Amino acid sequence: MVKNMNLSSGIIDNLLNEFSIHEIESAVIQLFLDDNNVSFSKNLLIKEFMENNKNIDDIKVVIKNYCSNFDLKAVERIFELLIPKEDRETNGAFYTPNIIIKYIVDNCITGDETVCDPSCGSGGFLLEATKRIQHLTNKSVIQILENNIFGCDILDYAVKRTKILLTLYALYNSEDTNQIEFNIINENSLLCDWNSIFPNILGQKGIFATKKDLIKGFDVIIGNPPYLRIQDLDLETKHNLIKKWSNINKGNFNIYFTFFYLGYQLLKPKGKLGYITPNNFFTSLSGRKLREWMVNKLEIIMDFKHLKIFQDVSTYTCIVILSKIEKSYFKYKPIEKSIDLNLNNENLSIIYVKDLNNKKWRLLESQDQENIKKIENCGEKLGDLTNIKAGIATLKDKLYFIDGDCEDGEFYYKMFNNISYPIEKEITRSIIKISTVKNENDIKNNTLRIIFPYYSHPKVQIIPEEILIKKYPKCYEYLYAIKNELSKRDKGKKKYESWYAYGRKQGVDTYGLKLLTPTFSKKPRFLLDSDESSLFCNGYAIFEKNGVDLRIIQKILNSIVMDYYINKTSVNIEGGFPCFQKNFIELFSIPNLDDNDRNFLLKEKSNEKIDEFLIKLYDLDIKPLINFQRR
């Protein structure tokens, strides 16, 4: 095993500064052969790397400082780290932990089956697939490699390293031959002609083109497809992909979406697909087409929520297993504590397709499904009972914000390029930066101001430039000084109603008593702002409507019920910070309260008693969570 996975890109980068890639590859191969007492005499591919010089020995010494028991996972890890940074960014290639690979392989491969990884990287999935088939059959490793294992990668050196990895496994099993006839190709998986490359598997006239071809296809598709936005591809590749794949839509479309479609097409009628991918397609706007297509093909989802699975990239992921046999339900399990836990199929919950809304998937365990239904149907939806609004977005906050403590009787003062500019007080408004306030005292003591170049009544509209010059000449002088900086917003491509207008129109017309919430927060933090004229940013505000009492709403939203609800229905960023955007809180319902209920909530100061009261009122089964959630 690799010692604590201590091999990092920095270590390999240091080696690359002194040695060639071929020398490092040679050292890695020789280390594996030496540490595992593997000998060979025939294989021509491995013979290419059997140089015996001082450089190789020096490299081996460095690597051994970070590895013990140099196994094939160590070989794979170093091969992945040898991928140049630019290729990682361009092709979205990242090392996959073996616990993930093994779970996918074990849940997809059941016997003597054909297996393909359409983005095989350095071969980790194909190696595990080979081991699995070897365990389930009496076939030799070379037989499996030549008849069961198929792969493709856009990087030529990745294909070569996959072949090396699999060859080393054959040698480890004392199987030595001059040349293994691999079925691993160097192509762009999404653009190549799979039928002509593997006609014996897929047929020659297109996948499933005739009745005879219905038996064609791979038994299993597995892998870790690249995570790349279509916007980040070169224009020619983008054009070709859009031309070939009609299901590619606009927005933040990610290439891994298309690998789902490709993999499914390559399967036999009863085949299975297993990928690890980002989990953002559960809720993203760009993922809606994928959700609609996928929903009745799902067999298992293992959701890693906000856990970071990959060392080399900050992406929140899930394992998805699809079946070519359509189903009315699938199995689901959230993994929230540690990837060091053994992945297994114990305690999987059933989610019925009919219960999913493809606008946004809400994936929950069985008891949570019941609780969330109750929370959303106990009374009136928060989005109907109140007005929920987003804060302002200038796109250059630091240029508009003013420290209210820097003032004299007539002006506030703003520094820019070491020059202090006076700003007329009348053209500013108080603003709350929600992410920086922790309690209501912070709101009361807030001194932050913002330049507000708008009329407020009878409706909010930009102050014309000629009037701005005449009425607020000092402020205009400052705005003119920052004009060039303001022009860089939206990469200079958007035209605004005026060059000094905010980057977005949202939030400029907000007035009234309100509850403020940050966009991301460990626990609910709804704070009352009684300044009806103040603006806000970096979060959302809930405004009273039809005489609703925000003090009561505040008690409910800051309770264990909202804490539980948001953790189960929202997205999380690293560290377990759920999102409190409007679309994640608007379906939360406020229960129908009588006078006694309202009086209790207004007067009670104990969080624990309020929690107990609301759990009973909503009729929820979340008692074990009370002590855990009250942080």
pLDDT digits (tens, 9 = 90+) for 280-308: 899 888 888 999 999 999 999 999 887 87
> Residue 401: pLDDT above 70?
yes
Decide if 272 contacts 129 (C-beta within 8 A). no
Mean pLDDT value across residues 589-618: 95
85 compared with 72, residue with greater pLDDT? 72
Question: How would residue 227 be classed by pLDDT, with cut points 50, 70 and 90?
Answer: confident
Per-domain boundaries in the chain: 1-82, 99-363, 393-492, 514-629
Give the three-class secondary structure for 241: helix
Instruction: Identify the burial level of 591 via C-beta atoms within 10 angstroms of its C-beta, where 0-12 means exposed, 13-18 middle and 19 or more buried.
Output: middle
Decide if 28 contacts 47 (C-beta within 8 A). no
- Expressed in percent and rounded to 5, the helix, strand and coil fractions of the chain are 40, 20, 40
Instruction: Identify the burial level of 72 via C-beta atoms within 10 angstroms of its C-beta, where 0-12 means exposed, 13-18 middle and 19 or more buried.
Output: buried
Instruction: Determine the pLDDT at residue 314.
Output: 67
Instruction: Determine the pLDDT at residue 313.
Output: 61
> Residue 383: pLDDT above 50?
yes
Tens digit of pLDDT for each residue in 233-258? Answer: 888 888 888 888 877 765 567 899 99
Decide if 91 contacts 51 (C-beta within 8 A). no
Mean pLDDT value across residues 151-163: 95
Tens digit of pLDDT for each residue in 323-332? Answer: 999 999 999 9
Question: How would residue 499 be classed by pLDDT, with cut points 50, 70 and 90?
Answer: very high
Decide if 94 contacts 124 (C-beta within 8 A). no
Least confident of 92-101, 222-231, 359-368: 92-101
Instruction: Determine the pLDDT at residue 629.
Output: 47
Sequence-distant (≥ 6) Cβ neighbours of residue 623 within 8 angstroms: 615
Instruction: Determine the pLDDT at residue 328.
Output: 94
Q: Select from 477, 543, 549, 558 the least CA-distant residue to 510.
A: 543
Instruction: Determine the pLDDT at residue 469.
Output: 95
Decide if 158 contacts 21 (C-beta within 8 A). no
91 compared with 589, residue with greater pLDDT? 589
Element counts in the chain: helices (H) and strands (E): 28, 25
How far is the C-alpha of 250 from the C-alpha of 229, rounded, in Å? Answer: 11
Instruction: Provide the 10 A C-beta neighbour count for residue 196.
Output: 9
Tens digit of pLDDT for each residue in 507-530? Answer: 888 889 999 999 999 999 999 999
> Residue 3: pLDDT above 50?
no
Which stretch, 465-479, 483-497, 567-581, 612-626, has highest mean pLDDT? 465-479
Tens digit of pLDDT for each residue in 337-348? Answer: 766 567 889 889
Beta bridge partners of 256: none
> Residue 200: pLDDT above 50?
yes
Instruction: Determine the pLDDT at residue 52.
Output: 67
Q: Select from 222, 239, 221, 217 the least CA-distant residue to 230.
A: 239
Decide if 561 contacts 375 (C-beta within 8 A). yes
Q: What rounded mean pLDDT belongs to the chain?
A: 88
How far is the C-alpha of 576 from the C-alpha of 225, rounded, in Å? Answer: 25
The overall longest dimension of the chain from CA atoms, in Å, is 90
> Residue 310: pLDDT above 50?
yes
Instruction: Determine the pLDDT at residue 479.
Output: 96
Mean pLDDT value across residues 220-226: 95
Mean pLDDT value across residues 389-411: 92
CATH number for the domain whose boundaries are 99-363: 3.40.50.150
> Residue 125: pLDDT above 90?
yes
Instruction: Determine the pLDDT at residue 92.
Output: 46
> Residue 394: pLDDT above 50?
yes
Instruction: Determine the pLDDT at residue 434.
Output: 95
